Structure 1
Amino acid sequence: MGVLWAVAIWGGAAGHTWAAGGGIVENGQAVTTAVIASWPMDFHPLTGNELGQFAIKRFVTRPVIDRFDGDQRCVFCTKIPSEADGTLIISRRPDGEQTTTATYTLNPGIFWDDGTEITTQDLAFSWEVLREGGRDLVAGDSRRLNIRDLHVIDKYRFSITYDGAVCGEQLDVPAPLPARLERPIWLADPTHYFEHSLYRTQPGHSGLYNGPFRVEKISTDSLQVVKNGHWSGQTAFFSRVNILVAANQAGLEQKVRAGGVDIFSTLTFDMGQRLAHELGARYDAFYSPSAHMVHLKVNFDNPILSDVRVRKALLYGLNREELVATLLENKGVVAQGLLSPFMAGYAVVTRYPFNPQKSATLLESAGWTKSADGLRRNRAGALLRFELRYRRNYPWIDLAPQLAAAWRTIGVQVDLIEDPQLSGDALDTRQRYLGLVGFAQGFEEGWEATRTWYHSSMIPAAANNWQGNNHFGIHVPTMDEALDRLVAVGCNVDARAAALSELQQVYAENLPTLPLWFGTVITLSDKRLSGTVDRRTSAMASPEFWRLHP
């Protein structure tokens, strides 16, 4: 489920008067936003990876290294470590494995919201919790699994040792924790630290936050954040933000149609586009390319689907351009590989345009011939048949029947199964889901996360202590080799670009999943607002940049 934001201005700045959301509040310095997320809210910087809660936490907590407009920037440090100045060193351990040491320097004069300075002791404590508390307790960025150690040099300088060759977008730093407040709780009972943390028991406590806002009040299914006067970044225009937490998309749409919402953004295309059409007099619509690829995961234990000829035939049997036109109103792009043309590192790869004749040829070569009833069978008389599981939501409720119908024309029988419990990350995934599974997945976590999805060594098993996310059993030797090379080339820009290009081509040739399209994130912004979307990407801007038009 994508993140859906909704915002209602509760007042107006000098010269502005607003009726939406309940009238003028404190000279227009309050704004109300809503997001789909679970409740209660978890504010701890090290826990929770749900998109909705993550979006809410960005109001009050920012990482040491953040990403803006696709670029990596230091928020609390002086610069990104690099080989050029010696702050990034890649070497080999005695066992032959590569290791990377990155040295960081915190900006002096960065503070928690109570005015206490953020120092390396806060980072050291965060690493202590990650290291000693067991990383299985921390459902955060998977790149942290690459961190071997964090070493404090002095009050502002620290180094991190990573497994493997790590650089650029791979660099990650654990979120700092206010050691003076949280360490006594940790020392008293490490086993139950997270449930006793002030982030859980007293989330409005002063000194817990380092972002542009701080938590002031929490009510049932809502919270209030106020401007953090000790935030060193862009000063927020609005003094207060009231955040309403909705359980589902229908609740948010109801708020929008009631007229109390001034900006919202969603990965759910159908709702965004419907409201863009119907409420265009009030909103400007902005379309931002999504990094999430809608695709079909393949159970590699299935003898039919493990044959790459069948997988290629299935793609040739789909008119994906037509699917994008009908389901996305041409606001998306057909996925040819792992990256879209709008993503850094994109390479042109083998393509699979709609070609039923080529599809038929591939299926014949794989031993599947058409019978009188139009369906294909092998020499033993077994049907070319498999299941397709999906959740009853957009786009699958419309897309799945179209896929089944298209493949029926080339002789394939697809059994559609709506599965409200669909997961895809359970250890028994291959036993639960015997054919294809509809998914959308992005690459925000970097290529290290991609490795855990596609490398055969990342198939969870007793031999690797059940590590990895390759739950569908993908085992493509050339894919393993390409992923290994991407790690081995280190930080050389040209070599890394070549390895990434090779990986994309290997993916396209072997189709470990079946790519369908990259979608669009729609942001609707009231015509009276400015600064709500990034000028280059049209994605929703961080809340500290939201303004009223003069």
Structure 2
Amino acid sequence: MRMKRGMYVSNKECTMKIKTLLLGAVACAALAPAAFAERGKDGNVSIIYWQAPSILNPFLSGGTKDIEASSLVLEPLARYDDKGEMVPFLAEEVPTIANGGVSEDLTTITWKIKPGLLWSDGTPVTSADVKFTAEYCMHPEGGCAQLSFFDGVQTIDTPDDLTVKVTFNQPKPNPYGPFVGGQSPIIQKAQFENCLGSKAPECTQQNFNPVGTGPFKVVEFKPNDVITLEANTNYRDPDKPAFATVTFKGGGDATGAARAVFETGEFDYAWNLQLAPDVIAKMEAGGKGKAITGFGPLVERIEVNLTDPSPSLDADTRSTRKAPHPFLSDIRVRQALSMAIDRELLVEVGYGQAGKPTCDLVPVPDNYAAKNDFCFKQDIEGANKLLDEAGWVKGADGVRAKDGVRLSILYQTSTNAVRQDFQALIKDWWTEIGVETELRNVSASVFFGGDPGSPDTFQKFYADVEMYANTFNGTDPQQYLAAYRCGQEPKPESQWQGENINRFCDPAYDALIDELARTGDIAKRGEIAIKMNNMLTKDSHTIIGLVHRGRVSGQSNTLGGHVLNVWDSELWDAANWFRKQGS
């Protein structure tokens, strides 16, 4: 379907206003009033992410902690604001059909870079950097954690130093994948040009100290510990950032991070306070800070491994579907695992008002949300009956087996009080249906770190099931759902980067990825996305949805200029942060 002229509308009071039937969103980013008039005048700001960043290259990590830490330094051409609306960052404007940036046949999008932009090392930002970024991620011998953002890209041309033209292999009604959002920023060609393909993870200096265009630049990065940053003297706004330095502390736990903001005042901002609501409320009484919350598309879920994770197999076999899982390949087992879970209790124990039961991978926006409720009622009796009918028989030890294969699960997740509570409850429920469960938790810094040499990352998935949450940028789940394309699993040849974590593969699903990419009608896009969601959840139980989580972070009472963003990096507006007067 072709987009019609006049679909997008400009507004003088906004940086950009986009009204589109295709994406179902209206974008309007008002120019924020300056809360300060001098770069660096407010000294230091302290941030704590209890899941410590392990790399500052979002193309080599799917971990939110790494993507968000990187966003202080690396920026995209456009990103999403706190309402989920697209706004230009390094680009002059968001390309549309109305302004000539998107072709009438929807096969190209042309970006214009703001003139005069400099990298933090003082060199000009050019279209060559943008083109190189795509080449870096799309390199056939490399492994890019954000490859789905470049799905369908055929060529990238640079007619001049400030123009980038992306051509797709079919009409793209939603062409805002490459270079949009915190997961798809621009990296400097001069710094990374010798880091293509298999060399990418070997470039330690580049991956730990990227040259960027953001408000801050790296002074020192200690992986899984502390990042020291300072104001970027070449940042495009001469009055920003207000803070001269940033101390970005990683590690510890959510309780310690919350206490550091709410009670001691040692830190100004604490991310992802995955704590029981009563714990947060008690800490807020300390008077130093407040909890800020918002619901986006974040889902806590269990990913089911469709491959055999046995350590007796070589890495290549364990990473692909060459060896199907000995019992999780049985859909009835996967369904029974889901049926045994009491999601209402999980919400009550872990999140309170900041959580909702979900069966889905994509819970919002409404147009793309299936709103399934098939999993809301726990059914231990039904799960037992299903396994009986499938021939899985309980032995003397209470554990089911069939043809010599026991239902014995290694269940892993990151180390966190709420997640360990979830593990304990789910283990008990699975015991009731004859499934033996071993619990394992890994430091979040390692689990989400993406180190190709570590056996403990969520990408390698050396377990039977694993639990975590992630999200997508913006209000359109196209790239998010495209991650489950056949062949995009993490594997040795991709340096264990990849988004298809459970190694799901269905040609019919791949066909829907392509159909969604070329469909413009908003209602039809929703129908396709819901069908894809259901294929992963309701129809196959490959992904077991648990909780639609609100984001909860802690902010000091003295920190101004921040607006919580659940549609992009939470640190998206760090250039606007300032110390409140009199604080």
* Normalised-by-shorter TM-score class: 0.7 to 0.9
**What residue identity is the alignment partner of 1:277?**
K
**What residue identity is the alignment partner of 1:413?**
V
Post-superposition offset of 1:226:
1.7
Equivalent residues of 2:143, 2:198 under 8 A apart: no
1:78-89 correspondence runs (5 A): 78-83=92-97, 87-89=101-103
In 2, the alpha carbon distance for the partners of 1:272 and 1:470 equals 32
1:172 aligns with 2:195: no
Residue-pair matches, total: 500
SS at 2:371 equivalent: coil
Which of 517, 520, 534 is equivalent to 1:505? 534
Number of the residue aligned with 2:554:
524
Query: In the superposition, relative to structure 1, how do residues 177 and 308 fare at CA in structure 2: closer, same or farther (>3 Å)?
Result: closer
In 1, the alpha carbon distance for the partners of 2:54 and 2:565 equals 34
Number of the residue aligned with 1:209:
212
Which of 383, 403, 406 is equivalent to 1:359? 383
In 2, the alpha carbon distance for the partners of 1:536 and 1:164 equals 31
Query: In the superposition, relative to structure 1, how do residues 373 and 139 fare at CA in structure 2: closer, same or farther (>3 Å)?
Result: closer
1:308 aligns with 2:314: no
Number of the residue aligned with 2:409:
387
SS at 2:370 equivalent: coil
1:423 aligns with 2:457: yes
In 2, the alpha carbon distance for the partners of 1:256 and 1:38 equals 17
1:241 aligns with 2:245: yes
Post-superposition offset of 1:192:
7.4
CA offsets per residue over residues 147-197 of structure 1, 9 Å max, x none? 332211223322012345544374213754556xx27x9589999799789
In 1, the alpha carbon distance for the partners of 2:498 and 2:137 equals 18
Post-superposition offset of 1:73:
2.4
Equivalent residues of 2:156, 2:164 under 8 A apart: yes
Number of the residue aligned with 1:148:
154
Query: In the superposition, relative to structure 1, how do residues 115 and 270 fare at CA in structure 2: closer, same or farther (>3 Å)?
Result: same
Query: In the superposition, relative to structure 1, how do residues 146 and 464 fare at CA in structure 2: closer, same or farther (>3 Å)?
Result: farther
CA offsets per residue over residues 306-359 of structure 1, 9 Å max, x none? 333333333222211111101223421112211124676223235222233433
Equivalent residues of 1:112, 1:118 under 8 A apart: yes
1:515 aligns with 2:545: yes
Query: In the superposition, relative to structure 1, how do residues 147 and 272 fare at CA in structure 2: closer, same or farther (>3 Å)?
Result: farther
Identity of aligned residues (%): 17
Larger Rg: 1
In 2, the alpha carbon distance for the partners of 1:541 and 1:128 equals 25
1:87-98 correspondence runs (5 A): 87-89=101-103
1:103-502 correspondence runs (5 A): 103-113=110-120, 117-126=124-133, 136=142, 142-144=148-150, 146-168=152-174, 170-173=176-179, 175-176=185-186, 182=190, 186=193, 208-215=211-218, 217-218=219-220, 221-226=226-231, 228=233, 230-232=235-237, 236=240, 238-249=242-253, 252=257, 255-256=260-261, 259-270=264-275, 274-280=279-285, 281-289=287-295, 291-300=297-306, 301-302=324-325, 304-341=327-364, 345-349=368-372, 351-352=374-375, 353-368=377-392, 385-391=407-413, 393-394=415-416, 395-409=418-432, 411-418=433-440, 420=442, 421-426=455-460, 432-433=462-463, 435-444=464-473, 446-453=477-484, 455-456=485-486, 458=488, 469-470=499-500, 472-476=502-506, 479-487=509-517, 489-502=518-531
In 2, the alpha carbon distance for the partners of 1:510 and 1:170 equals 30
Number of the residue aligned with 1:54:
67
In 2, the alpha carbon distance for the partners of 1:222 and 1:467 equals 23
SS at 1:499 equivalent: helix
**What residue identity is the alignment partner of 2:390?**
A
Give unmatched runs, 5+ long, in structure 2.
Answer: 1-34, 307-323, 443-454
SS at 2:149 equivalent: helix
Query: In the superposition, relative to structure 1, how do residues 58 and 299 fare at CA in structure 2: closer, same or farther (>3 Å)?
Result: closer
Equivalent residues of 2:158, 2:165 under 8 A apart: yes
Post-superposition offset of 1:383:
7.8
Number of the residue aligned with 1:18:
none
Post-superposition offset of 1:494:
3.1
Query: In the superposition, relative to structure 1, how do residues 74 and 222 fare at CA in structure 2: closer, same or farther (>3 Å)?
Result: closer
1:77 aligns with 2:100: no
Greater displacement, 72-81 / 151-160: 72-81
Number of the residue aligned with 2:310:
none
In 2, the alpha carbon distance for the partners of 1:286 and 1:354 equals 31
**What residue identity is the alignment partner of 1:213?**
F
Equivalent residues of 1:293, 1:440 under 8 A apart: yes
Number of the residue aligned with 1:94:
none
Which of 535, 542, 549 is equivalent to 2:573? 542
Greater displacement, 457-466 / 306-315: 457-466
SS at 2:483 equivalent: helix
Post-superposition offset of 1:45:
8.0
Post-superposition offset of 1:443:
3.2
Post-superposition offset of 1:79:
3.3
Give unmatched runs, 5+ long, in structure 1.
Answer: 1-12, 15-25, 92-98
Equivalent residues of 2:354, 2:549 under 8 A apart: yes
Which of 59, 79, 91 is equivalent to 1:66? 79
**What residue identity is the alignment partner of 2:412?**
Y
In 2, the alpha carbon distance for the partners of 1:484 and 1:187 equals 33
Equivalent residues of 2:50, 2:251 under 8 A apart: yes
In 1, the alpha carbon distance for the partners of 2:492 and 2:353 equals 45
Query: In the superposition, relative to structure 1, how do residues 386 and 368 fare at CA in structure 2: closer, same or farther (>3 Å)?
Result: same
Greater displacement, 237-246 / 79-88: 79-88
SS at 2:368 equivalent: coil
In 2, the alpha carbon distance for the partners of 1:387 and 1:165 equals 44
Equivalent residues of 2:284, 2:291 under 8 A apart: no
In 1, the alpha carbon distance for the partners of 2:91 and 2:345 equals 47
- TM-score computed with the length of structure 1 as normaliser: 0.74
Greater displacement, 149-158 / 247-256: 247-256
Query: In the superposition, relative to structure 1, how do residues 468 and 187 fare at CA in structure 2: closer, same or farther (>3 Å)?
Result: closer
Query: In the superposition, relative to structure 1, how do residues 121 and 417 fare at CA in structure 2: closer, same or farther (>3 Å)?
Result: closer
In 2, the alpha carbon distance for the partners of 1:148 and 1:384 equals 47
Query: In the superposition, relative to structure 1, how do residues 169 and 142 fare at CA in structure 2: closer, same or farther (>3 Å)?
Result: same
Post-superposition offset of 1:30:
3.6
